[in-house]
A = this chain, B = another copy of it.
Amino acid sequence: MSSLRLVLLCLGAFLPLGPVAAASATGPVTAPASVEQWGLFEASLTGPADGNPFVDVRFTAAFTHGERSIEVNGFYDGGGIYRVRFMPDATGEWRFVTHSNRWALTGQQGSFQVTAPAKGNHGPVGVRHTYHFGYADGTPFRQVGTTSYTWIHRPAALQEQTLATLAASPFNKLRMCVFPQSHGSKLMPPTLWPFVGTPRQWDYARFNPEFFQLLEKRVGQLRDLGIECDLILFHPYDGDENWGFETMDAATDDFYLRYVVARLAAYRNIWWSMANEYDDLRTKTEADWDRFFQVVRDADPYGHLRSIHNNRRIYNHHQPWVTHVSMQNGAALHDAGRAEIYRNVYQKPIVYDEVKYEGDSIYRWGDLSALEMVHRFWAGTVAGTYVGHSEFFGRPHDVVWLGQGGVLKGESPPRLAFLRKIMEEGPVDGIEPIDQWSDPYARRRTPLGDGLGEPHVGGQAGEYYLVYFGRAAPRSWPVEFSPENLVDGLRFAADLLDPWAMTVTPIEGTFTLKRKDDNTFADAAGRAIELPGKPYLALRFWRIP
């Protein structure tokens, strides 16, 4: 957020707003004179501090750019200060005018210049090509996620360490909670709370601005690291602490959601996750979750991504307010053939946000090997889906990345960095599963074969192929592709990729494809690629002139 601010004196000469009424005389607007596109513009005003400003005062602003006008909710930030934030999506002059049921906050006007986005600012992420993501400026967003639920509820030094770890990590999306969780809270009790009051005795009608200031500071820092923040709005982890965030009434739930959205929607890196393991939060009904989505959607002028994360019962992701699927499934990344199933069901991007965790937990959800975690990312990738990481190392009450942040102890992150690089070198339109039902294992009637099936192939047919062998360890692979988008004579170069060793080994020569039969194009010279006979390898092919 820009530190350059100036007081906009609401004079006609300075703000040529035409027919708009002159601003009231009660309070000046504090706001920057310029902001970059998709940056965070914030205007502050002083208003009433008496009564309960969170409840009593309605405060919005209309932001105008040419013909377009966008109505945005402001919020009360304590100490008589009201703020309204805005993420402009176009350069040039924007104007705004406030509206309120209090004289001090209504009719205040201003304008600001929106400059081109700075390097690294690609705008918010949205859905692209049905199954993928992209930034607003057209740059693809290849999600490589991780989760650290409640790092912002831990001691400041640990929070800083978490940020440093993220800065050096491959992750470009972090799932994190607003509310604290019981796990680890004996060791490191939360000190800042979202409501005024004390646990189990909250004044649910009054937010604690200090908490939200910390939250948004962290969201902003993630943004500056190029990390999307998938903010988890509810979760079932109050546990024995029974703080009271799981049992708020419906009006409080909605009041809380609108406040969070008013504060955070202008952060370009925000995503809304209605819940983690929503089905374990037994105090809500399916209708509540439907409503939460709609409350958030209606309050967010930018249409940030919205989803919900399950444990055993899967939410109806067909609902129109779900932008992408946030899936927990501990077995679906076993192979790409499983991973792609949800894609075809929902026809939306699939993010496997929880696939079990790398770790040494006594619990089965936290004891994946690093190799298995890396395999799951590759299986998901060639299936045209996206995967999330986290880890759980240490005894239950130690500092684990999943719950508290700190440092990463596992061996998968460098390999996920390698995968991210491969993804970034891949097709800009994303990786699609190719020839999904080919299943030559069944077709060739070799039932006593190696049981591993053929490799799964993802890519952009005719242009780019990522061939992942998973657990199979063949000694050679005949270069064969499904006919989609192929014609005789197309040429391809290839690399052997080792996802664990993180090596890229060019394959000598090139491959010229030729139709072999109805279902196959093969190398014209019948060339196969020799392989080292170990599992978890991949080949990539890209078309050359």
Binding site for B on A (CB under 8 A): 312-314, 316, 318, 329-332, 334, 337-338, 341-342, 344-345, 347, 356, 362, 364, 367-369, 371-372, 375, 436-439, 441-443, 445, 447-448, 450-453, 470-473, 518-519, 534-536
What are 17 pairs between A and B in contact, CB < 8 Å?
A331-B337, A331-B438, A331-B439, A332-B341, A334-B337, A341-B342, A342-B345, A364-B438, A368-B443, A369-B445, A369-B447, A372-B447, A447-B536, A451-B451, A451-B470, A451-B472, A451-B473
Q: Which residues of B contact A518 (CB under 8 A)?
A: 362
B334→A453 contact, CB < 8 A? yes
B437→A368 contact, CB < 8 A? no
Known: A316-B318, A443-B368. A341 touches B344 (CB 8 A): no
CB distance from A340 to the nearest CB of B (A): 9
Number of copies: 2
A451→B316 contact, CB < 8 A? no
A368→B331 contact, CB < 8 A? no
Complexed CA–CA distance, A519 and B367 (Å): 13
B330→A368 contact, CB < 8 A? no
| Chain B residue at minimum C-beta to C-beta distance from A519 | B364
| Chain B residue at minimum C-beta to C-beta distance from A534 | B448
Q: Which of A312, A342, A445, A451 has most chain B Cβ within 10 Å?
A: A451
B535→A356 contact, CB < 8 A? no
Complexed CA–CA distance, A372 and B449 (Å): 12
B334→A439 contact, CB < 8 A? yes
Complexed CA–CA distance, A349 and B523 (Å): 44
CB distance from A529 to the nearest CB of B (A): 20
| Chain B residue at minimum C-beta to C-beta distance from A471 | B451
A442→B337 contact, CB < 8 A? no
Complexed CA–CA distance, A472 and B450 (Å): 9
Q: Which residues of B contact A332 (CB under 8 A)?
A: 341
Complexed CA–CA distance, A364 and B534 (Å): 29
